[in-house]
């Protein structure tokens, strides 16, 4: 359907409450499809940014389902046919040799955070080529909404090296390179030019890798994490939020991480990234070796249980190939391994059958079941299915949102393991203290800090994370903890304006010795969170 946009002239005046209310009426209108809401909001971002960002920050929880998951999946699939502006930077393989000059020609030069994809593995939807720009733009919005990065300081990037998706190559509306996806040395040369150009142009920018293919994602993180301040959200961000959810679930259950057996359906970058962070937590907090920690995590891929008897395993799976009997199916693995935690990263809708979840409930008083695959159509189960199969005893977190359930007069709210709880705070904190590197310890710190923010009474209602409506408060606390730790460990440096900004924010100029380091950092991060009510939004 067609939705009338605000007149362009409206962007030249200050937004009032009625402007934002009108936007929210459209967001809440059940007769308007999610993709039409996405189109409306993206056009408003361009034509009336003051209203858009004021709405985004004040109604973040309500707007994000239409600007990010689950709607962004369809938006990326149809990206080139949608009537929306593109405000990110396309770097095409055919532009090789000119990446640095293209960056230097951008209207916004004070960039703190760069979100980059090559479009190869967008959510659970596969190779969407240049349509992956939608995911970089969506993540960029989350940096502003959740952690207060100024919109003018974020750059979404899509590196277009072609696509292996024949439907896109045959689609007349597709605007990406119409060529097979580059691989091998040719692909590596394009990525190398991008990294070198970014390092020259903005040496202190934080780089977030987003939705690269499994094998590529691990390679790039390993190759570049010490050369440029970067992280991979699919590997490390997903691991961080999942570990936070698991630690919250264990608080509700009253058990310890060292007593868990975690079974993953799916052994790609997300799953093995989670497993590795669990192993790191067991090493750093429970005195195990990394190898001992990994033995608490088991993986099933398309060929069955990842185990020592299998040959030709991909490199990222080998560390989790334990000396256990092979199991061909998830049902067999659940019965054999008797896991306490079941995590889905398979993009296989319905893979967590009622029978499997009933088995989990028989073995565990409070079975922990996390179907993390996005979008909703790829989720291994719904909250209702898990609730019914476990007689309401499940401790649940999903990648996409599901509605609450009222049972016997009590309302249970499913947790959404949304990476937006952690990656914006991690990226912004690293930018504020000019971090050299984002180590695994940073993600463990963020997970533990987030897990401790949920009130115990909320845990009883299934809420493993703080309410997303409090995301800016959550992000501020996380940013302070992360930046403080980075500076204390030598990974980052205290900003030159730190004392003056903290003094102004706290009203304690000359008396800062009475404040803890953490309190100082909370004041500093709060001062650097973009506020659309006091700052004019940029035209992108």
Q: Residue range 306-319: average pLDDT?
A: 92
Poorest-pLDDT segment among 14-23, 33-42, 137-146, 237-246: 14-23
430, 358: one domain: no
408, 474: one domain: no
DSSP state of 298: E
Q: Residue range 302-329: average pLDDT?
A: 94
Beta bridge partners of 298: 263
What pLDDT does 155 receive?
98
**Going by C-beta distance under 8 Å and a sequence separation of 6 or more, which residues neighbour residue 306?**
267, 298, 299, 300, 313, 317, 320, 321, 322
Per the structure, the count of domains in the chain is 5
286, 161: one domain: no
394, 315: one domain: yes
Tens digits of per-residue pLDDT, 159-218?
Answer: 999 999 999 999 999 999 999 999 999 999 999 999 999 999 999 999 999 999 988 999
The answer as to whether 74 is a domain residue is no
Last residue of one domain, picked from the residues 385, 417, 449? 417
Last residue of one domain, picked from the residues 67, 88, 103? 67
What pLDDT does 311 receive?
87
214, 97: one domain: yes
Poorest-pLDDT segment among 266-270, 348-352, 499-503, 512-516: 512-516
The answer as to whether 75 is a domain residue is no
What pLDDT does 14 receive?
56
101, 140: one domain: yes
Is the separation of the CB atoms in 352 and 381 below 8 Å? Answer: yes
Last residue of one domain, picked from the residues 417, 445, 472? 417
Q: Using H for helix, E for strand and C for coil, what is the string for 389-400?
A: HCCCCCEEEECC
243, 330: one domain: yes
Tens digits of per-residue pLDDT, 389-411?
Answer: 999 999 999 998 899 999 999 99
What pLDDT does 515 receive?
86
Q: Please determine, for residue 104, whether its predicted confidence score (pLDDT) is greater than 60.
A: yes
End-to-end Cα spacing for the chain: 25
307, 329: one domain: yes
Residues that are catalytic: 68, 139
The answer as to whether 115 is a domain residue is yes
The answer as to whether 73 is a domain residue is no
What pLDDT does 157 receive?
99
What pLDDT does 199 receive?
98
132, 281: one domain: no
Which among 329, 323, 377 has a CA at the least distance from the CA of 356?
329
258, 375: one domain: yes
Poorest-pLDDT segment among 259-268, 305-314, 442-451: 305-314
158, 28: one domain: no
Q: Residue range 338-356: average pLDDT?
A: 97
What pLDDT does 9 receive?
40
The answer as to whether 24 is a domain residue is yes
pLDDT class of 124 with cuts at 50, 70, 90: confident
The answer as to whether 156 is a domain residue is yes
Q: Please determine, for residue 11, whether its predicted confidence score (pLDDT) is greater than 90.
A: no
Share of the chain above pLDDT 90, in %: 87
Report H helices in 109-264: 133-147, 166-169, 184-201, 214-224, 238-253
Task: State both tokens at 529.
Answer: 């969170």
What pLDDT does 47 receive?
93
Domain around 209: 80-228
- CA 82-100-209 angle, to 5 degrees, is 55
The answer as to whether 158 is a domain residue is yes
- For residues 359 and 69, which has the higher predicted lDDT (pLDDT)? 359
The answer as to whether 244 is a domain residue is yes
Q: Please determine, for residue 538, whether its predicted confidence score (pLDDT) is greater than 80.
A: no
Return mean pLDDT, the chain. Answer: 94
Secondary structure (DSSP) of 368-413: EEEE--SSGGG-S--HHHHHHHTTT--EEEESS----EEETTEEE-
Q: Please determine, for residue 153, whether its predicted confidence score (pLDDT) is greater than 50.
A: yes
395, 517: one domain: no
What pLDDT does 540 receive?
62
What pLDDT does 330 receive?
98
- Return the CATH number at 95: 3.40.50.10380
Q: Please determine, for residue 310, whether its predicted confidence score (pLDDT) is greater than 80.
A: yes
């Amino acid at each position: 359907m067609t939705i009338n946009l605000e007149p362009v002239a409206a962007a030249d005046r200050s937004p009032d409450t009625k402007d934002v209310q009108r936007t929210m009426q459209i967001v809440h209108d059940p007769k308007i499809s999610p993709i039409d809401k996405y189109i409306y909001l993206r056009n408003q971002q361009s034509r009336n940014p003051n209203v858009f960002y004021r709405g985004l920050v004040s109604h973040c929880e309500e707007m994000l389902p239409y600007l990010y998951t689950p709607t962004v999946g369809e938006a990326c699939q149809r990206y080139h046919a949608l009537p929306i502006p593109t405000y990110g930077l396309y770097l095409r393989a055919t532009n090789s040799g000119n990446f640095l000059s293209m960056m230097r020609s951008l209207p916004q030069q004070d960039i703190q955070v760069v979100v980059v994809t090559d479009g190869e593995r967008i959510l659970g939807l596969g190779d969407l080529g240049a349509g992956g720009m939608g995911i970089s733009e969506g993540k960029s919005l989350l940096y502003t909404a959740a952690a207060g990065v100024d919109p003018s300081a974020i750059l979404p990037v899509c590196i277009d090296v072609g696509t292996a998706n024949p439907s896109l190559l045959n689609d007349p509306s597709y605007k990406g390179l119409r060529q097979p996806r580059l691989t091998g040395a040719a692909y590596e040369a394009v990525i190398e030019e991008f990294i070198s150009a970014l390092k020259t142009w903005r040496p202190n920018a934080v780089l977030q890798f987003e939705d690269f293919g499994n094998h590529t994602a691990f390679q790039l993180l390993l190759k570049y994490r010490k050369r440029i301040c970067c992280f991979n959200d699919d590997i490390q961000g997903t691991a961080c939020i999942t570990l936070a959810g698991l630690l919250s679930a264990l608080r509700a259950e009253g058990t310890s991480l060292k007593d868990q057996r975690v079974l993953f359906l799916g052994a790609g970058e997300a799953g093995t990234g989670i497993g590795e962070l669990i192993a790191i937590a067991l090493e750093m907090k429970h005195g195990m070796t990394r190898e001992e920690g990994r033995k608490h995590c088991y993986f099933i891929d398309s060929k069955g249980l990842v185990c020592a008897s299998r040959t030709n395993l991909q490199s990222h799976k080998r560390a989790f190939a334990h000396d256990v009997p092979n199991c061909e199916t998830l049902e067999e693995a659940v019965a054999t391994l008797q896991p306490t935690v079941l995590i889905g990263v398979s993009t296989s809708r319905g893979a967590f059958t009622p029978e499997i979840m009933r088995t989990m409930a028989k073995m565990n008083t409070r079975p922990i079941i996390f179907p993390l695959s996005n979008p909703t159509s790829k989720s291994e189960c719904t909250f209702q299915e898990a609730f019914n199969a476990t007689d309401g005893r499940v401790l649940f977190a999903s990648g996409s949102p599901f509605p609450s359930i009222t049972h016997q007069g009590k309302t249970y709210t499913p947790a959404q393991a949304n990476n937006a709880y952690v990656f914006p705070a991690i990226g912004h904190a690293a930018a504020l203290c000019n971090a050299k590197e984002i180590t695994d310890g940073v993600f463990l710190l963020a997970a533990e800090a987030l897990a401790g923010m949920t009130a115990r009474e909320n845990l009883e209602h299934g809420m493993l994370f703080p309410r997303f409506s409090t995301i800016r408060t959550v992000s501020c606390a996380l940013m302070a903890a992360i930046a403080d730790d980075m500076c204390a460990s030598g990974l980052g440096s205290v900003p030159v304006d730190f004392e003056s900004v903290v003094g102004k924010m706290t009203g304690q100029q000359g008396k800062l010795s009475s404040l803890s380091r953490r309190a100082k950092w909370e004041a500093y991060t709060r001062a650097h969170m973009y506020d659309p009510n006091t700052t004019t939004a940029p035209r992108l």
